[in-house]
Structures are given as C-alpha cells and as structure tokens.
Amino acid sequence: MKLETIHIRNFRSIESLSLSDCGGFNVLIGKNNAGKSNILLAINLFFEAIKSGQPVQIRSRLTNQFDHHNSRPQSPIEITLDFKLSEGERDALIQDIILDAAHVKNAVEGISKDLRLAATVAFVSDPLPYAYVKKIALHQPSLTGECTLDPTARILLSVDETASRELAEKAQQALSKEHDSRAVREVSDRLERYGVEDWERMRMEGARMLRMGYYESTTGAAIAPETQRKVDQLMRSSETKAAFREAIDLFSRSLTQEATVLRTQPLSSRVETISGNEDEVPAYAIRIIGRLAELKILFLKERREPIGAREASQLLDLKVTRGGPEKLRAIQETVEALLGVEIDAFKAPGKGDAPAELDVDRFIVQVNGAGIREALRLILDYEFSQPNFLLVEEPEVHLHPGLEISMMRYLKRTGSECQIFITTHSTNFLDTAEMRNVYLASKADSTKVQLINLAEAEDAVPRELGIRLSSLFMFDKLVFVEGPSDEDVIREWASLLSINLAQASVGFVPMGGVRNLAHFAADKTISFLTKRRVLLWFLLDRDERGQEDIDRLKKQLGEQAILSVLKQREIENYLIVPRALAEFIKMKQEMSSGGSKAPCSEQLVTEAIDKCAEQMKAVALERRIAQWACRPLYLDRDTLLDLNSGKSIEIRLQTALEDVSAKIAEKIATIQAVIQEQTTELDRNWAAQKVSILPGDQLLDEVCKQFGVRFFKDKDAVRLAALLKPAEVHNDIKTLLEDIKARSTKV
C-alpha cells in the first residue's frame, strides 16, 4: 500500500489539514513551532490506534484532552489516510468482501482500479477515552486534496458516535473480563506456594486477604469487586488447594468466554456497511483493519535513544544467524559508503553475559562524535526494522553539512522501498532533495501546508526559512558546476567509484550556466572563501571552446581557484555507454504506459549511436561556426575616452565604431574560409571523436527516440549515471574526482 493523502482534523496545532500527492520521499519544512512534527505524530497515532487489529481501542496514553485543537475535547481528533492499492491488494480486498457478503459480488468485482482505500480513525476523550475506526471507504482520488469523499465512493464501514460509544463500552467490559481472567490465575499461582496449614488459614480468612492486596494482578491493577467476591467464595467452598485450582481455572475460562461474547454480541445501534445497515462490524472490515495494522511504521523523534548495546547485540546475532553474515556485510557496506567508517560488533570482554559492544573504526561507539552516532541510529533502525513507513524528525541533527547530504541521499534511495516523511530545517535537504514532495508548513491560527512546486521553490522556501547562500560555505572544498544535474551525475559517479565526497567535505554550487561564472567568481567571493582555506573548483563543459577561450577563463579566475574544463563537450557525453544506455532505454520503456516497446540491446544501441551521430554532423559544424561568429566585438574604450587626442567625442566615437565595422566586414569576408576551415577540422577528427564532439544530451535524446522514449537531461542524466558500472566511468572523471578528494585544503 502506498500512502497518498493525509487528512488531519483537530489535532494539536492542526484544525484541518490535507497533505496530498505524497511520494516516496516527503520533506516537511517551515519555521519552528509551525506544526511539522504534529503531522508526523498524527501519522504514527493512526497506526498506534489500530495496531490491535480491532475497530476500537480503549486508550491509555495515545492522546489526552490537550492533544485536541485548542484543548477542546468535545471536538474528536480525526486522522484519515488514503492508500493507493496494488492490483493484488485490491483483489484481496474484494475477496474479503465477497466472503462475508456474497450478494454484493457483482457490484464489488466491477470496482475501478483507480479507487483509493480511505480509513479514518477518530479519538474521543470524554467521558471514556477511546479510539475507533470511524470510516473505511473506496473512493476516487481528490483533485483538490480536500478531506471529502466523492459521490461515487463505496462505503465499506461507517460508525457513528453512538455506535462507537457502545463498541467502546463493550470493549472496556471485555478488557476488564480478560484482565480478571489473567489476574485470578495469578492469585491461584500465588497461593500454590503455601503449605496445607497456610491454605486452611487463608481459606477461612478470605476477607482479610482482600485487604492485604492478594487480589491484584502483577500489573498492579485491582480485580473487579464482583470477581474478588467470586474468588473468595470459591476459596471458602474448596476443601483442597487442588479443588480450588480446578474451580479457579474454570472461572478464568468463563471470564474469557464472557469477554468474547461481549466483543461479538450485536449492537443496539447500527453501523453502515457495503450491504446496508448492520448490528455488528463485518468480518471483512476487521480483516481490512488487520491488514493496515500489519504495516510497519518506524518513528524516530528528534530526541532519539543513544545507540549502544541493543544495536551491538543485533549486529552480533547476525554473525551466527542463517543468512545473517550477508545482511551484516550489506549493512557494513552501507555505513562505510555513507559515513566513511567501519562498524562491527563483539561480545564485551570479561563481562560474562554482558551486552555486546559496537565498534566504529575500532573504537567503541560511545567515544565517537554525536554526528556519527545519530547517523548510525537512523541507518541501523531502518535496516533492522525494514518498515513500510519511516517518520524522522530533523534527520540532520548533529550532522556536518557533508554528512547531511549523504544522509539525504540514503533516505531518498530508501524512499523507493518504504515511504519516508521527514521534518527539517536543513538547507542541504532542501537544496539537493527532489522538490516534487516538499511541503511548506506555516501557522497562523492553525497549521497549514503547501505543496511547493519548482517555480515556487526559489521564492517561497528562502523567504520562509531565511536560507542564505552562505550556508553552503561550511565545506572545505566547493565545486562550482554549470547546473544541478551536473552535481547529481558527479555525486552518482563518486558513489560508484567509492569516493566519499562527504568525508572529503566537498560541496557543490550550481551556477545556472557558464554565463554566471563572473557572478560566482567575483573577487570578493573568491577572496572570502580562500581566506577560510576553502579550495575552489570551477568545472565547465568544453562546448566549442578553444584553448584561447580556456586561457581567458583561467586568467579571469586567477590563482585562487582551479578551472577544470571537460575534454569531451559536456558531462552527458560521458554517459554515452552502449550497455548502460540500453538498460536505461528498457527502463524508460517499462515506465511508459502504452509507449513503444521497440527491441533494444547493446548492439542495437551502438548502431543507433553511430547512426544518430552521423545525422547530427551538421549540428556540430554549425555550433563551431556559431562559436566563432558570436564572439563579441567591443568599442575601444581607451580610444573613446582619450581626452589627450585633441579630437572631439563625436570624432572619437565615429572612429571607434568604424573600427568595429571594419572587424564585422572582415568577418563577413572570411565566412566561406571559416566554414571551410571548420569543416576540414571536423572531418579530420570526426571518425574518432564524433561522440565526444556532439552535444551529449541531444545525442542521447536522438538515440532514445529510435526506441520510442525520450532523454530529459534534468531528471534522466542521474538515472543513466546510476546504471554505469565502475569500470565504465571515464578515466577523465576518475582523475577529476580523485583529485578533488585528495587535494589538501591547506595552503
């Protein structure tokens, strides 16, 4: 089941809130005290309320009157979760309904695959505190995200307040009976320890035993008075301990049976079901609740339990469990790739049965820094629990910015296996996370959320959180790249090559294109960063730049920054690997509903690359000519402002313009020669270098078109990069990444 929409009413700071279009990795941002954590608490509260698999739960510590919005317990808390069902889950649900209500078979078998399963849990605080499943329905997804069911919704269960109160009262009575059933057995077990003389005395002094507290369970809860009286009666009427034990066992079973009757007896109120109003909660509804209760949820609050002996014991157990060593190695590799540390567990030396010890880089975990301990807490909790839903408050707590990014990438990858909801203030989580599922929380009278789209992100997020570019200046090394997709691809390559950029304290700054180089390479900026001993790289596409252009850029940057210009035209050219590209095309074909399923293999892709490259040869030539033609021509400022020349400004301006006109005329006169020169040079290098000369993203798109799919640079470049094998990463890239990792920041 995929959680798609969340509706919350009357919970803490939330009067009414809808979180729609939830994805695999969901980020909640906003000012302090905006109510972000309350959203995670509400999701967890929903599952806590149904974990017994029953339609009603008598609450102990789930909520109290202060958890109701504005502390108004007369307004029940309601939490509704909408789930998208897989085809198998939908079919199982239909079979559950048919099993109990065969007469609706024709109606339910025609249920649309697009319907969502909505379940609402309500929480009542006065007078009897309880939670109950208020509604279960199948309905069309809401286009507005509002907490309303469409008119065509199929109500599977609807319980009104009167029926819920009756269910709660019966559940309370049943729990009391079950408690007493266990407790009287404990009384019998306690008396079993005494001899015959003690038994005779206690049998005759049953009333005094009541005052001595014999009739309390091990939980400290007193047995109901009528049960106490019955036990006293049985004790007095039993001649021997054996007879008493037999009588008490029979009485315990009768209490359990009474509890079962209470839970199953018809209601005087009616509940709505798919087949009409009934006097009991149908079995199919209880099975649906049971399936929801089986979903595993892991909730990591901001203040987390310190990592230590429990996790060490779990890791140690893997060493001696069938299949455990493989899982242990996988966890160790994950931790090393993300955090750059090695973990292991050993039995604590010289302590007999004392807990195991967790080692991090051969030191016990307690002597490591808070950041490593917090990151391990999250990783190990997830790896051991394997939940369906992971809720994390402030995953960046105690983490260095480089480690934050590693953690974000881990969570983002994990989001393909379980749904993740996090709250954060981290600029790194915002700047590098996929923005499709980022929600901005704000609070005036009550908490509201807004799904931020890409256009709003640049505006709304910085305004709400006060994000500053300086937040990126906490790294030891900064790599300025032309665009965000370049950073994603480089990070993916580093991961493939086991180069830990986080451990090397490397940050990235997308410039939005080489045209912004002057802004990011301003003297004040570079001077500030180099004073802090931050090492700077500017990584640029080669495009059609010649050596003269590169030398000019190096002069512009000066000695305080490193300029790396790719040897191939752009980063995407390094992604043109036939095997990986064939795998990518197949993946895109699978993702495309009703799209082309043209045969695809490494050989066919190799042929398509060559074919498309030949067709694009004119593109390469035109870009080379455009590079020459578009070089700007400037008026000679010194000539124009030369007051010592004795010439008027009119004459000086005319002279400067004539010089530019002469240069334009010279260009016009040499057009044919330049075209011929560029054609000759292109032909000379074409056979060996055509794949590296052409625009990489365009060539990839043209190849993909041959198989009925498209390549979109912004989202597909990193997908394709992830499909490369380490040996397929070009040596240019390996050398660059090793240099960035190894170069010292010290002057």
DSSP string, 544-609: T--HHHHHHHHHHHGGGSEEEE-SSSSGGGGG--HHHHHHHHHHHHHHSTT-------HHHHHHHH
DSSP string, 535-559: EEEEEE--TT--HHHHHHHHHHHGG
Same domain membership, residue 310 and residue 255: no
Confidence of residue 459 (pLDDT cuts 50, 70, 90): very low
Q: Which residues of 183-196 are buried (b: 16+ CB within 10 A; e: fewer)?
A: bbbbbbeebeeeee
Same domain membership, residue 190 and residue 145: no
Q: How far apart are CA 582 and CA 720, in angstroms?
A: 10
Q: How far apart are CA 184 and CA 181, in angstroms?
A: 6
pLDDT per residue over 417-457, tens digit each? 899 999 887 766 665 545 578 887 888 789 998 887 544 44
Domain contains 701: yes
- Torsion sign, CA atoms 360, 366, 371, 377: positive
Range of the domain at 198: 169-264
Query: What integer pLDDT is reported at residue 596 of this predicted model?
Result: 59
**Going along 140-186, which residue ranges are E strands?**
154-158
Instruction: Assign residue 348 the CATH number of its domain.
Output: 3.40.50.300
Same domain membership, residue 194 and residue 282: no
Same domain membership, residue 259 and residue 175: yes
Same domain membership, residue 281 and residue 148: yes
Same domain membership, residue 282 and residue 143: yes
Domain contains 695: yes
Domain contains 693: yes
Domain contains 63: yes
Q: How far apart are CA 682 and CA 694, in angstroms?
A: 11
Q: How far apart are CA 29 and CA 39, in angstroms?
A: 11
A 10 A CB-CB count for 372 gives 22
Domain contains 462: no
- Torsion sign, CA atoms 738, 741, 746, 747: positive
**Going along 409-534, which residue ranges are E strands?**
419-423, 438-443, 447-451, 477-481, 506-510
Domain contains 439: no
Domain contains 323: yes
Confidence of residue 471 (pLDDT cuts 50, 70, 90): very low
- Say if residue 109's pLDDT is above 70: no
pLDDT per residue over 538-596, tens digit each? 888 888 777 777 888 788 777 778 888 899 989 999 999 999 999 999 998 888 766 55
How confident is the model over 662-690, as a mean pLDDT?
A: 89
Domain contains 182: yes
Same domain membership, residue 673 and residue 590: yes
Are 346 and 319 in contact, with CB atoms under 8 Å apart? Answer: no
DSSP-derived pairing of the beta strands 154-158 and 271-273:
antiparallel
Q: How far apart are CA 506 and CA 480, in angstroms?
A: 11
Look at the pTM and tell me if it is higher than 0.75: no
Q: Which amino acid is at 101?
A: A
Q: Which of 294, 310, 337 is where one domain is finished?
A: 294
A 10 A CB-CB count for 659 gives 14
User: Which tokens go with 202?
Assistant: 């206690």
Q: How far apart are CA 419 and CA 439, in angstroms?
A: 15
pLDDT per residue over 4-60, tens digit each? 999 999 999 999 999 988 988 898 887 778 889 999 999 999 999 999 898 998 876
Q: Which residues of 427-440 are buried (b: 16+ CB within 10 A; e: fewer)?
A: bbbbbbbebbbbbb
Instruction: Name the domain count of the chain.
Output: 5
- Say if residue 149's pLDDT is above 70: no
Residue 307 is given by DSSP the state P
Same domain membership, residue 131 and residue 15: yes
Cis peptide before 127 (omega within 30 of 0): yes
